[in-house]
Structure 1
Amino acid sequence: MKEESESFIDTLKYQFLCCYPLHCIDWDAIPKGLTWEQHKQLIENTALQPLNKKYPIKISYQLNFLKRLLQQLEKHCDEVHDIVYESYCAVQQRVAKDTTEKYAYKHYVQPSLDVSITLRESKSFVAEGTTGLCSWQASIALADYLVQNIKLLRGKCVLELGAGTGLCGTIALQCCGVRHMLLTDGSHECIELMKENVLRNFREASEVNDGEYEIKGKLLNLCKLEWGSVSDMKWPNGFSADVILAADVVYDDTVFDSLTNAINYVFKIRDDKCEMLLAATVRNEHTLNKFLNLLSTLDFQYIEKDVMPLDKCNFYWDRTTPVKIFQITRKS
């Protein structure tokens, strides 16, 4: 019973810190008969967790999370520890002030990988004219796939298109032995946010030039790249893409021509000696197929890869809408 309770508390901590959607949390898995000390542990591992106190996640999420937690504890326990009610009231008092805040944090923690990543991101899906200022589920899914297949990136130069907050690239750089990472986005605001997130997560990073960092012998560059102007891109010294990454970039068919142009250009300058890993949230099957068909007209081929199942994943993301991952290469 004790092991079951500790496992549940740990799982809930990681889900809370990354703002895992409340409807995805298995609230029925809460162990019956939790002790008062375990009630306290639940709060100390979520609302009062040191990461959340230093870099708080969305207040609205915290409030709704604690409300659901209270409901479950009141249903299954004779009494609920005062700290749970006190935490709920404390968060409730912060709601009005929080409405003026445009940004909050998310934390992706996985002790088995020695990973703890804190990202500042927009609380809105669309901000500053871009959707890239917050993390999306396909980016987390791709990161999870990469850490389970480290050999795909080990010792290689990796280019990410539409990197947004830098989530996927940051995890890959930490876990996958990447030699040189180039994170790009068409939004200046995304590049500035990535810089902030890089410096927060890589304390040992040494800035060689503007947007260029050395991290324990590895190189990281952050560059603005508009897909339609990829031929004007000034590539970092010594960078030659072995692998291209992209996540949640195929939801808008009006950008497909410029996106495929960018992909085609990078493959050409590498004499097709590279590959691409694309993760797509399947909101509209027709839109995804339109993009894949466009790739086919440029002599690309693709293979769908297995997404990590929930019971084997390292990070949590909303699986309500399916995510697909494709390995893309040029036909020989």
Structure 2
Amino acid sequence: MLCAGDDDDPFPADDCLFADTFSQETVFTLSGQQLRITQVFGANLGVAAPVWEAALHLCGYLEEQSVELRGKRVIELGAGTGVVGILAARLGAVVTLTDLPLTLPQLKSNVSANMPSSGWPTNLPTVLPLSWGEDHMNFPSDWDLVLCADIIYLPGTYPLLVETLAHLCKSRAVVYLSSKMREEHETPGFYEESLPSRFNVELVHRDDDQNINIYRASLRKDL
């Protein structure tokens, strides 16, 4: 089967997302919340399919540091399965989950599967397509938190991501980014060069065993 896509496009389209795929449901207990997350595995969904360790680390960090989520306007970039944003919504945040269009069916399914029995504390999480550097201007700039888990792995997208983050953070949102520090994908360079070009960046957590870092960033005021 042939799938649509442009090899030169850093965000390729894919018209046969669910061809030759299988799903696996996993239950995670995070911040006292039990989440049922379905991961759709297959060559077409690729890196958006699994729950990555960096996402679980970010969930744990938000709990350990008692980051206030209730009532906060939160947007997650590259949400994948949605585990981070769904947890934030379960804890009372007003959440928008974003990723490439091909990932949205998985996201919407996981949102539906994780509605609390008493209903969402604030709003039903919104699921929207967002291609960095392309349609970010369709989104507001008044977020409180921007969450990113293991999205730093394609060097060609790094300038686009920084541009998108700068737009989203115009009202001084705080960004939390959790990443497996992959030298082969120039992940360290993103945090040492690309992101500091527009943001103040602080390493707030390091897991040596998993080689995962969590950073807190805010838009530089001198620009």
TM-score interval, normalised by the smaller of the two chains:
0.7 to 0.9
Given that 2:23 and 2:41 are in contact with CA atoms closer than 8 Å, whether structure 1 keeps it comes out as yes
Partner of 1:120: 38
Query: Which structure's CA Rg is the greater one?
Result: 1
Letter of the 2:112 counterpart: L
> Once superposed, which parts of structure 1, at least 4 consecutive aligned residues long, lie more than 6 Å away?
none
Name the structure 2 match of 1:321: 210
| Residue 130 of structure 1, CA deviation | 3.9
**Is 1:146–1:172's contact at 8 Å kept on the other side of the alignment?**
no
Residue 183 of structure 2 corresponds to 284
Higher share in helix: 1
Change over 3 Å in CA distance of 1:296–1:251 after alignment to 2 = same
Distance 2:48 2:215 in 1: 21
Residue 201 of structure 1 and its aligned partner are, at CA, apart by 1.1
Identity of aligned residues (%): 23
Q: Partner letter of residue 216 of structure 2?
A: Q
| 1:1-332 equivalence runs, <5 A | 102-109=22-29, 113-124=31-42, 127-175=43-91, 177-178=92-93, 180-186=94-100, 188-204=101-117, 215-235=120-140, 240-268=142-170, 270=171, 273-284=172-183, 287-292=186-191, 293-298=193-198, 300-307=199-206, 320-332=209-221
Q: Give secondary structure in 1 for the equivalent of 2:147.
A: strand
Partners of 1:200 and 1:193 lie apart in 2 by 11
| Cα deviation digits, residues 63-110 of structure 1 (max 9, x gap) | xxxxxxxxxxxxxxxxxxxxxxxxxxxxxxxxxxxxx76111111025
Offset of residue 232 of structure 1: 4.2
Q: Could you tell me how far 1:217 is from its partner in structure 2? A: 3.0
Where structure 2 has 5 or more consecutive residues not aligned to the other structure, the ranges are 1-19
Structure with the largest fraction of strand: 2
Q: CA deviation at 1:191?
A: 1.2
Residue 189 of structure 1 and its aligned partner are, at CA, apart by 3.0
Matched AA of 1:109: T
Residue 25 (structure 1) aligns with: none
Residue 301 of structure 1: how far off its partner (Å): 1.2
Kindly provide the CA deviation profile for residues 161-205 of structure 1, in whole angstroms up to 9, marking residues without a partner as x.
Answer: 000000111122223x32x1111002x232111111111111558
Q: 1:61: which partner in 2?
A: none
The Cα of 1:155 is off from its aligned counterpart by 2.3
What code does the residue aligned with 1:297 have? S
Please, what TM-score do these two structures have when normalized by structure 1? 0.55
Q: TM-score by structure 2 length?
A: 0.80
3-state SS, counterpart of residue 109 of structure 1: strand
**Structure-2 change in CA distance of 1:101 and 1:146 (3 Å):** same
